[in-house]
């Protein structure tokens, strides 16, 4: 659930359950949450790597 807040805006994936029962709707919602969490986790890891790269650049004096 770490990346969940970062992927909330990407969770509307046009996966709207049509002509499904209750279980199908819950399944599609769960799929949206999982995909949003994966996207958010990727964005979180990318931002952490970017922060560490900037810190290393500041330490070595190569920050432009």
Question: What does the pLDDT read at residue 7?
Answer: 52
- Give φ, ψ of 3 to 5 degrees: -85, 0
DSSP code at position 28? H
Query: Cβ neighbours of residue 49 under 8 Å, at least 6 residues apart?
Result: none
Distances (CA, A) of 38 to 3, 9, 23: 7, 12, 22
Question: What does the pLDDT read at residue 5?
Answer: 59
Q: Which residues of the chain fall short of a pLDDT of 70?
A: 1-17, 63-64
The rounded radius of gyration (Å) of the Cα atoms in the chain is 18
């Amino acid at each position: 659930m770490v990346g969940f807040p970062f992927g909330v805006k990407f969770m509307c994936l046009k996966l709207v359950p049509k002509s499904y029962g209750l279980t199908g709707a819950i399944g599609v919602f769960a799929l949206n949450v999982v995909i949003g969490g994966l996207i958010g986790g990727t964005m979180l890891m990318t931002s952490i790597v970017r922060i560490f790269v900037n810190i290393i650049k500041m330490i070595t004096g190569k920050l432009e």
